[in-house]
Structure 1
Amino acid sequence: MAEVIAQEKQGGSKQRKKLIRVDMTPMVDLGFLLITFFMFTTNFTKPNVMDLGLPAKDPNHRPNDKVIDVKNQVTFILGKDNRVFYHQSSKEDLNTGNLKETNFSGINITKIISEAYNNAPNKENFTIIIEPTDDANYKNFVDVLDNIAISKKERYGVTDIKPWEKKVYEELTQ
């Protein structure tokens, strides 16, 4: 660890000067251990968490096979290049004429949701359906969820795009 070296001074006096040499190897080891400890215990970025309002499980609930009427729902299809389409059509009625496009402006999506809600025959069953395609990005998905929260509608679902919707979507994006 430390070493004392006795050295005689040259010259006339007989005074001895002691030089102390400290070995710094253990201190360097301790420094690396501290650096490693702080690197492993520090959070560099905080995780971002988004609250999804999921319903509680009801033990007495039985599955319901009722299909939501097309006038009681609005479906948003999130596409590539920040494009969003919406419709209120059934499988048989959907075509390129009634699959409409809008943008991610909060005013537009909230307005579409409000209009669909006001025209719904059964307002307590009004549902918003979000169908992201494989080309959609996460930011657009979050934007739609934010607009749903702004419009204060609690019934929404996220599902895969159906084949008949994908066919019409691809016709529009070609």
Structure 2
Amino acid sequence: MAEVIVQEKKGGKQKKTPLRVDMTPMVDLGFLLITFFMFTTNFTKPNVMDLGLPAKSDIPTKNVVDDKNQVTFILGKDNRVFYHQSNAKELTENNLKETDFSGVKISNIISEAYKKAPIPENFTIIVKPTDDANYKNFVDVLDNIAISKKERYGITDIKPWEKKVYENVTK
């Protein structure tokens, strides 16, 4: 592949001439390797979950999410998940119930809350991860929301009154 050109002079002393190496085949080989790896590499689509965002509207909306028309999930540490359907005045340690991520328990909780909702078309699921929650649990809850086929959900920070009750329960 490399071409070495040596010029010899007749008679007398031989003069060393520099070697000229032709790099054209090396460039061809580089492009062949790049092409080979491009064709043999798996191009996988990353796993992403669509996050439904509400459309922008100029019409002001009323607060249509009341206590019985929603269910709130609080994601805690050590793979614990709590849920309630209460407001700041009614939430106690007894109202804050605990479940886990095994099976379709969260989907069943969502379905039961939906059946009891006074205005089913405004039923909303609220997810509130604490600082101690992990990302896997958050994705698991979103998967359960997708399984239950409910399109109205929100993600927000845990409120101080919920945090107080949550900390009392987890002690």
Q: Residue 49 of structure 2 corresponds to which residue in structure 1? A: 50
- Taking a change above 3 Å as real, the CA distance of residues 2 and 141 of structure 1, as seen in their structure-2 partners, is same
Residues of 2 paired with 1:147 and 1:108: CA distance? Answer: 9
Cα shift at 1:102: 0.4
Task: Report the TM-score when normalising by structure 2.
Answer: 0.75
Greater percentage in strand:
1
What RMSD over aligned residues (CA atoms) do the two structures have, in Å? 3.3
Aligned length: 156
Moved more, 41-50 or 144-153: 41-50
Cα–Cα, structure 1 residues 166 and 27, in superposed 2: closer, same or farther, change >3 Å?
Answer: farther
What is the CA distance between 1:30 and its match in structure 2? Answer: 4.7
| Pairs within 5 Å for 1:6-155 | 23=21, 26=23, 30=27, 47-58=46-57, 60-64=58-62, 66=63, 68-155=65-152
Aligned residue in 1 for 2:15: none
1:48-96 deviations in Å (ceiling 9; x for gaps): 32111222223x32243x2522111100001111110000111111111
Q: Deviations over 1:16-67 (max 9, x none)?
A: xxxxx7637x479859x86xx88xx989875432111222223x32243x25
- Say if 2:71 and 2:125, in contact at 8 Å, map to a contact too: yes
Matched-pair identity in %: 66
Hey, what's the Cα distance between the residues in 1 that align with 2:78 and 2:43? 31
Q: Which runs of 4+ in 1 moved over 3 A?
A: 21-24, 26-31, 41-48
Distance 1:48 1:70, change over 3 A: same
Structure 1 segments unaligned to the other structure (5+ residues): 7-20
Q: Please give the alpha-carbon distance, in whole angstroms, between the structure 1 residues aligned to 2:45 and 2:104.
A: 31
Instruction: Structure 2 unaligned segments of length 5 or more: list them.
Output: 9-18
